[in-house]
Chains A and B, each alone.
Chain A
Amino acid sequence: VRSRTKPDKRRTLADAIELVRDGDTVAIGGALSYREPMALVRELVRQDRRDLRLVGSAHGIDVDLLVGAGAAGAVEESYVGFEQDLGLAPAYRRAAESGTVAVRETCCYTLLQQLRAAEYGLPFMPVRGIAGTGILGLHPEYGEITCPFTGETFVAVPALAPDVALIHGLCADRRGNVHLRRPLVLDERFANAAKRVIVTVERLLDTDAVGEAGVVLPSFLVDAVVEAPLGAHPTSCYPHYTYDRAHLREWVQAAGSDEGVAAYLERYVNGGEPAYQEAVGAGHLAALSEWQQSNERWMELASA
């Protein structure tokens, strides 16, 4: 029974993650150090989901943490890492090199076209690129199509309807009308293409307030909405808080070994979100909202 028109979709994190099953294709919103649904990611780890196929564009700690915790069977992202600053994703790198996770690297536009096919109700979309690259060899599911009008040949990529999309937004009402601000990355596309959509937000507000802020995801796309303040930490959720570079560095250092990952999970993840925030530190978290004070303060936080 579809639940998307229910007037109240509020759930706890634990209830919401029950919508995710082992083996699901999971699309994770946000990008790199920006607005990733980390509270949901941590709950996936706590509930010990396995063999997930992770799809997305350019990502960081979300994917690396899931791989490190053993939740991922395949990674179909366009990039996983910490940019020039903190470098390669240690857990993903180790798992890929030892063959414990399948590398199905994709490209941003390819993924977009696959999501669009699902949104448009079509079985595939053509893509002009990919031919001649190694990406083609990682995807036996891609096909080829000749244009009936020009005779040109294109790579055809199949529709991708993720089983679940996980998104962190700024605010929502209890029905699941969600306000996001740009950059939206692929959040809208994921929400339209996915079979189930779970959204965490900084604040639950009444419908008028969310409408005034601007609805980006209409409620009928959304299956569950969870109020999870700081739910994107250690990635940013502007205007509420900037990203926590020091915490990302701590992860990158921990993720270099299985023991380090286990210690990180024990310290930060296993105990639940209140324990997570306590371990990170209330003062430390509060400081991340000080980016608005001045460019100098923002620079300090950015170089922490």
Chain B
Amino acid sequence: MTPGEFTIDEWFCVALARTIRDGEIVFHGFGSPCAQVAMYVAKRTHAPQMVLVEGSTYALDPEPAFIPATSNDWSLLRRASHILRFEELFDLAARGGLDRMFLSGGQIDPYGNTNVTAVGALPRPKVKLGGGGGGCNLSATVGALTLWTTRHRSGRVFVDECDFVTDLGHRTPLGTREEMGMPGGGPAALVTELGVFDFPDGRMRLRERFPDVAVEEVLAATSFELDVAGDLRTVAPPSDAELAVVRSLDRLGVRRTEFGERELARRFRWSAHHAGCPCCT
């Protein structure tokens, strides 16, 4: 990579980071390197007051020397102010004290329900996925969810209806979150390798696209009818400070394990278009 260039995995982490608001208590879940890196980017740039809860160690605000390829590792305890017990993290979330978490899915429907359990019907599914960890309950009570996937282009992720709902979105056949008595706010943002989405009225909408992606490509890779924001924008490029966090922290490049070869080959440069943009400098 030449100086001044950046890649989709770097930009993706930055786009995820920008869904975090300063002052939030945020949790990334295990096996989620992009979300994990994103939390450190947010903490060290625009959200210094956030509380970062590591995804499997439950360490608070650690300063790891590198991101390991596994989530429950002592390297993620370095300089942590504290290590929560399992119970403390889940109780915090159950009583509404966890502000945001990151969730992904092998399938995601228009309401942001996600499936990380199985493709095809149980008891003998076509593909048994890993499972949801704590997502099922956390998704019910956490203040806001940031969803992500790096496999949008496959066409298999965004489906009308998930084969199995592991984590709650805005609505299921039983009704809305409110009707089901779930106090959490549900999916607020979604980042894919094609663009950034929001959920006005609880339904997924394309808000920003990456500059090398056409709207038609996004629509074609999404099985359901996708709303597109009237003032669709391109994703704001990463700042030097944000890129520096990604590169200095994830020295092993663990975030790249979330992407296919084609995506990793995408290269971006700063353009004159962005030069005067106040959010990019």
Residues on A with beta carbons closer than 8 Å to the beta carbon of B258: 84
Whether B69 and A83, one on each chain, are in contact in the complex, defined by CB atoms closer than 8 angstroms, is yes
Which of A33, A58, A92, A98 has the largest count of B CB atoms less than 10 A from its CB? A58
Choose among B129, B172, B180, B257 the residue that contacts A84 (Cβ–Cβ < 8 A).
Answer: B257
Whether A132 and B56, one on each chain, are in contact in the complex, defined by CB atoms closer than 8 angstroms, is no
Q: Is A77 an interface position by the 8 A CB rule? A: yes
Choose among A85, A129, A185, A238 the residue that contacts B140 (Cβ–Cβ < 8 A).
Answer: A129
Q: Is A184 an interface position by the 8 A CB rule? A: yes
Q: In whole angstroms, what is the CA distance A182 to B137 when docked?
A: 23
8 Å CB contacts to A: which residues of B80-102?
83, 85-87, 90, 93-94
8 Å CB contacts to A: which residues of B35-87?
56-58, 65-66, 68-75, 83, 85-87
Residues on A with beta carbons closer than 8 Å to the beta carbon of B136: 107, 109-110, 129-130, 133, 135
Known A57-B86, A112-B90, A182-B83; contact A132-B168, beta-carbon cutoff 8 A: yes
Residues on A with beta carbons closer than 8 Å to the beta carbon of B117: 105, 134-135
Q: Is A114 an interface position by the 8 A CB rule? A: no
Whether B131 and A32, one on each chain, are in contact in the complex, defined by CB atoms closer than 8 angstroms, is no
Chain B residue nearest to A248 in the complex (CB) = B70
Residues on B with beta carbons closer than 8 Å to the beta carbon of A96: 118, 124-125, 128
How far does the Cβ of A272 sit from chain B's closest Cβ, in whole Å? 27
Interface flags, A74-94, vs B, CB<8A=1, else 0: 000111110111101100110
Q: Is B202 an interface position by the 8 A CB rule? A: no
Residues on A with beta carbons closer than 8 Å to the beta carbon of B110: none
Q: In whole angstroms, what is the CA distance A157 to B152 when docked?
A: 36
Interface flags, B166-197, vs A, CB<8A=1, else 0: 11100011110000111100000000000000
Whether A299 and B252, one on each chain, are in contact in the complex, defined by CB atoms closer than 8 angstroms, is yes
Q: In whole angstroms, what is the CA distance A81 to B72 when docked?
A: 13
Whether A107 and B72, one on each chain, are in contact in the complex, defined by CB atoms closer than 8 angstroms, is no
Q: In whole angstroms, what is the CA distance A83 to B257 when docked?
A: 10
Whether B134 and A108, one on each chain, are in contact in the complex, defined by CB atoms closer than 8 angstroms, is yes
Chain A residue nearest to B116 in the complex (CB) = A79
Q: Is A251 an interface position by the 8 A CB rule? A: no
Residues on A with beta carbons closer than 8 Å to the beta carbon of B108: none
Which of B75, B87, B136, B252 has the largest count of A CB atoms less than 10 A from its CB? B136
Q: In whole angstroms, what is the CA distance A217 to B138 when docked?
A: 28
Choose among A98, A107, A131, A243 the residue that contacts B180 (Cβ–Cβ < 8 A).
Answer: A131
Q: Is A46 an interface position by the 8 A CB rule? A: no
Q: Is A285 an interface position by the 8 A CB rule? A: no
Whether B168 and A78, one on each chain, are in contact in the complex, defined by CB atoms closer than 8 angstroms, is no
Known A105-B117, A303-B252; contact A32-B129, beta-carbon cutoff 8 A: no
Whether B83 and A57, one on each chain, are in contact in the complex, defined by CB atoms closer than 8 angstroms, is no
Whether A34 and B134, one on each chain, are in contact in the complex, defined by CB atoms closer than 8 angstroms, is no
Residues on B with beta carbons closer than 8 Å to the beta carbon of A77: 131
Q: In whole angstroms, what is the CA distance A183 to B60 when docked?
A: 12
Whether B94 and A128, one on each chain, are in contact in the complex, defined by CB atoms closer than 8 angstroms, is yes
Whether B174 and A131, one on each chain, are in contact in the complex, defined by CB atoms closer than 8 angstroms, is yes
Chain A residue nearest to B87 in the complex (CB) = A112
Q: In whole angstroms, what is the CA distance A109 to B63 when docked?
A: 27
Residues on B with beta carbons closer than 8 Å to the beta carbon of A98: 124
Whether B68 and A302, one on each chain, are in contact in the complex, defined by CB atoms closer than 8 angstroms, is yes
Choose among B32, B122, B167 the residue that contacts A103 (Cβ–Cβ < 8 A).
Answer: B122
Residues on A with beta carbons closer than 8 Å to the beta carbon of B58: 183
Q: In whole angstroms, what is the CA distance A98 to B69 when docked?
A: 30
Q: In whole angstroms, what is the CA distance A161 to B126 when docked?
A: 32
Residues on A with beta carbons closer than 8 Å to the beta carbon of B238: none
Known A32-B56, A84-B32, A302-B66; contact A105-B181, beta-carbon cutoff 8 A: no
Choose among B93, B181, B257 the residue that contacts A153 (Cβ–Cβ < 8 A).
Answer: B181
How far does the Cβ of B212 sit from chain A's closest Cβ, in whole Å? 24
Q: In whole angstroms, what is the CA distance A236 to B74 when docked?
A: 9
Q: In whole angstroms, what is the CA distance A33 to B75 when docked?
A: 13
Residues on A with beta carbons closer than 8 Å to the beta carbon of B180: 131-132
Q: In whole angstroms, what is the CA distance A230 to B131 when docked?
A: 28
Q: Is B19 an interface position by the 8 A CB rule? A: no
Q: In whole angstroms, what is the CA distance A182 to B70 when docked?
A: 16
Q: Is B220 an interface position by the 8 A CB rule? A: no
Known A128-B94, A132-B172; contact A186-B65, beta-carbon cutoff 8 A: no
Q: In whole angstroms, what is the CA distance A102 to B125 when docked?
A: 11
Q: Is A203 an interface position by the 8 A CB rule? A: no
Whether A303 and B90, one on each chain, are in contact in the complex, defined by CB atoms closer than 8 angstroms, is no
How far does the Cβ of B75 sit from chain A's closest Cβ, in whole Å? 6
Residues on B with beta carbons closer than 8 Å to the beta carbon of A84: 31-33, 69, 254, 257-258
Task: List residues of chain B with CB under 8 Å of any chain A CB.
Answer: 30-33, 56-58, 65-66, 68-75, 83, 85-87, 90, 93-94, 115, 117-118, 122-141, 164-168, 172-175, 180-183, 251-252, 254, 257-258
New contact pairs (9) apart from A85-B257, A134-B165, A245-B69, CB-CB < 8 Å:
A57-B134, A97-B128, A99-B124, A131-B140, A132-B174, A138-B122, A186-B86, A299-B66, A302-B252
